[in-house]
Structure 1
Amino acid sequence: MTNNTLNQTEQTKKQTYNFNKLQKRLRRNVGNAIADFDMIEDGDKVMVCLSGGKDSYTLLDILLNLRINAPVHFDIVAVNLDQKQPGFPEHILPEYLESIGVDYKIVEENTYGIVKEKIPEGKTTCSLCSRLRRGILYRTATELGATKIALGHHRDDMLETLFLNMFYGGKMKSMPPKLMSDDGKQIVIRPLAYCKEKDIEKYSIAKQFPIIPCNLCGSQPNLQRQVVKEMLQKWDRQYPGRIETMFSAIQNIVPSHLCDTTLFDFKGIQHGKVIEGIEGDIAFDKPDLPIIPVISSDDVEIEFVKENSIPFKEIK
């Protein structure tokens, strides 16, 4: 065996090891999110919204993988909204979904034409496009009898939305991992809530998903979301661990130390009255912050025991 052959063999082993490690991490993160927020229950029909991008492909792939050893039975149907964008390759998604044996439905609606007609040239189309898509997908879920609508938003999307709402909307608001749909008939879930976009991108490349670019929104310059995304990416490069710490922050809210009177009874704080369960006064204290950001190791295994089944958190 030549040195070149040996090197190729070692390289292949390394690639296989790294891929297995990456897949295991994504499975664990999705399993944890499903368990933490009780996203999927026995008998659910999960409608996975497939756009043709890396996030939704990964979502579908990981859910199909997890379903094999899941503690509950649930069905999956993939749904794609063909928005009639010029040049859209209509054959790609049906061919891919048939090749992996997944039940699917392609919904054809000319939302592209509506958006182009209603939105002036140069203005962002995201708001109207999103509302149109949402209404169509809710309707489709009802027609299919789906009990859950799974979207491919990940951890980075949630942080971007938090900053967008802070900067432009004056709200501390992000994307919830689980919420009721507008019509109250379905529950929307985001199983990738704990997953890093970097991991999803690596996984998508390794799996060679047939990516379909969105020419409607992806080509718009100076989008506010793109500006925020670049800001977070810059922070991630300059200050490793900062993104993880920020995501940890939205999981550890302290209402008594913010300013929302609907979340905390500030008027109830009176002289001589002790309120149990809130943090003490730190007004005169020097902030005691860790030098190293709070991060969770991707290699730490989470033990979770449940009788007679394999919980989502325990699926490796």
Structure 2
Amino acid sequence: MSGIAGSDCSVITPVGDRLPLEQIEKNIITIYRKPIWSKFTKALKQFKMVNPGDKVAVAISGGKDSLLLAKLFQELKKHSDHSFELEFISMDPGFHPSNRKLLEDHCDYLGIPVKIFDKQLFDVVDEIANDYPCYLCARMRRGALYAYAESLGCNKVALGHHFDDVIETIMMNILCSGKYQTMMPKLKAKNFDNMELIRPLCEIREDDIKLFASESGLSPMDCGCAVAAKKTSSKRREVKELIKTLGASFKDVEKSIYMSAQNIYLDAVVGWRNGKEHYSFLDRYDD
């Protein structure tokens, strides 16, 4: 999971000795206050992600994004006046033993009391998926996370999708599916009453997360997926490169893609959907 699904299934090479845990926690709200901490708290407030009385299950994959998310929530709990509870959960969908150990090691070092549950999904996905195993796996993993979070009494699941995940998803939907659809900052879970999914890293750039991980001396895995590792190409990787290329010609193109989902002019849209209902501009053309 870069949240749930990552784009690169390699393991990041260790950069150096780990910083002391106390220093890592201090850096989050000092050195990384502007690029990470402030954007995290802004998203929580702007999209009303956490309320008093909530019990949030922070989903940890072992990657850089979800480990940072866990530490951010720990710092929020430490410094916030809001009364909310936290659970840290991780699903082992069939990791190689070395990746499982890497996950456990990082959580132990970072003081994250993670609860790991086994759900052998990789074998299932490998058997039935064709061109888009990540999509199928993400859906199955999300359902398993909801069920486990519900069993712990949680009403929200927090995933580690960041800003770059959001804009890549927008572009993939346009280029590959012929539709405009973003990755929502929060949404109600299907088939699980009173459960919500939240994405508190949605305004944080991936490069800043990478910098935090490397300067902290951490070497987390990206997704550890044996299924995706077999694929020689990735549309998400291609889109990531396309956005990077566009950035050379269009100023702030990443920000423009991100903000486009918040500035849709319905008077200039040919058609749109609301649930299963489809609407056309002709429906109100003569009004």
- Give your verdict on TM over 0.5: yes
2:232 pairs with one of 221, 224, 231? 221
Would you say the 8 A contact 2:28–2:72 is kept in 1? Answer: no
Shift of 1:148: 0.8
2:156 paired with 1:148: yes
Would you say the 8 A contact 2:62–2:106 is kept in 1? Answer: no
Deviations 1:255-306 (A, max 9, x none): 1111126568654343xx7xxxxxxxxxxxxxxxxxxxxxxxxxxxxxxxxx
Q: Which runs of 5+ in 2 are unaligned?
A: 1-25, 273-277
Shift of 1:46: 1.0
Matched with 2:45 is 35
2:99 and 2:233 map into 1 onto residues whose CA distance is 27
SS in structure 2 of the partner of residue 90 of structure 1: helix
Would you say the 8 A contact 2:28–2:37 is kept in 1? Answer: no
Matched with 2:6 is none
Would you say the 8 A contact 1:52–1:212 is kept in 2? Answer: yes
2:205 paired with 1:196: yes
1:163-312 to 2 correspondence within 5 Å? 163-185=171-193, 186-213=195-222, 214-216=224-226, 217-218=228-229, 220-260=231-271, 266-270=282-286
Change (3 A) 1:19 1:104: closer
SS in structure 2 of the partner of residue 198 of structure 1: helix
Matched with 1:10 is none
Shift of 1:207: 2.1
Q: Which runs of 5+ in 1 are unaligned?
A: 1-15, 274-316
1:260 and 1:71 map into 2 onto residues whose CA distance is 44
Would you say the 8 A contact 2:170–2:181 is kept in 1? Answer: yes
Would you say the 8 A contact 1:76–1:103 is kept in 2? Answer: no
Matched with 2:87 is 77
SS in structure 2 of the partner of residue 68 of structure 1: helix
2:68 paired with 1:58: yes
Would you say the 8 A contact 1:52–1:211 is kept in 2? Answer: yes
Would you say the 8 A contact 2:185–2:202 is kept in 1? Answer: yes
SS in structure 1 of the partner of residue 192 of structure 2: coil
Change (3 A) 1:112 1:19: same
Shift of 1:87: 4.0
SS in structure 2 of the partner of residue 81 of structure 1: strand
Would you say the 8 A contact 1:45–1:148 is kept in 2? Answer: yes
Q: What letter corresponds to residue 57 of structure 2 in structure 1? A: M
Matched with 2:23 is none
Deviations 1:203-260 (A, max 9, x none): 1212233402424225532211111111112223444411112212222121111112
Asked which structure has the greater RCO (Cα within 8 Å, sep 6+), the reply is 2
- Larger radius of gyration, structure 1 or 2? 1
Would you say the 8 A contact 1:57–1:204 is kept in 2? Answer: no
2:145 paired with 1:137: yes
2:108 paired with 1:98: yes
Q: What letter corresponds to residue 203 of structure 1 in structure 2? A: F
Q: What letter corresponds to residue 284 of structure 2 in structure 1? A: G
2:52 and 2:38 map into 1 onto residues whose CA distance is 20
Deviations 1:139-166 (A, max 9, x none): 1011111111001111111111111111
1:84 and 1:95 map into 2 onto residues whose CA distance is 17
Shift of 1:63: 1.8
Query: What is the TM-score with the length of structure 1 in the denominator?
Result: 0.73
Q: What letter corresponds to residue 268 of structure 1 in structure 2? A: R
Query: What is the TM-score with the length of structure 2 in the denominator?
Result: 0.79
Aligned residues, how many?
Answer: 254
1:190 and 1:223 map into 2 onto residues whose CA distance is 23
2:77 and 2:279 map into 1 onto residues whose CA distance is 38
Would you say the 8 A contact 1:23–1:203 is kept in 2? Answer: no
2:98 and 2:170 map into 1 onto residues whose CA distance is 32
Q: What letter corresponds to residue 242 of structure 1 in structure 2? A: V
Shift of 1:22: 2.7
Change (3 A) 1:147 1:84: same
